[in-house]
Structure 1
């Protein structure tokens, strides 16, 4: 089990302009940070930051089990319109996370829903202040809906 936040490979999924991606690079000074969105980031990348685009649907062009940390504030993980692909994106986050990798997802979903539904794939460590703190668990039954 990971006991440190000294990440090496960080993914900012649906990074928007890229400002938050650069902030993640300053928070994790030893990490390479990849900002991904469906549109091009408009921010100049900081050292160790790379921006790329993706389709609106999985899969990402990232090898399996390579990210230590995934962060996302995308409405895809909420009750907002367009959330129907949420489970596909959760499966994709699980695919790219290393064993014991950590994901922090912004969401307005009900806390009980998250613990019931997302715990089939992740160790749901906490749901607080609109964020779900998740740890990847290999070997646990995954949901495919």
Structure 2
């Protein structure tokens, strides 16, 4: 069974988000997503400073099985990316909620409103069952 963490919010495309501080939200893929992809071999990270829109592609993840788009769960500006994933894409498999985070986005407008549009842990658990 896939791990779903209570303090995070989730997109229907299997990304998670959490507030880091102020307007900054950290984004990654869920445990369910990494298990469906299989062994991840490459991550195309979003560009620093790029504007992203909720629901739009901000990169891709390549596994031994397939290539999957990475969708932004929030709209804003990419402030930071996890450079460790360039040399260690397998962090997404082993630590999807810790070392495998993908990007930090400065949210446009209200963080509460942006995250409020996403799924709670309970609703996400129902989606993946």
Q: Same fold (TM over 0.5)?
A: no
TM-score interval, normalised by the smaller of the two chains:
under 0.3
Q: What is the TM-score normalised by the length of structure 2? A: 0.24
Alignment TM-score, normalising by the size of structure 1: 0.22
Q: Which has the higher contact order (CA 8 A, sep 6+)?
A: 2
Larger Cα Rg: Structure 1 or Structure 2? 1
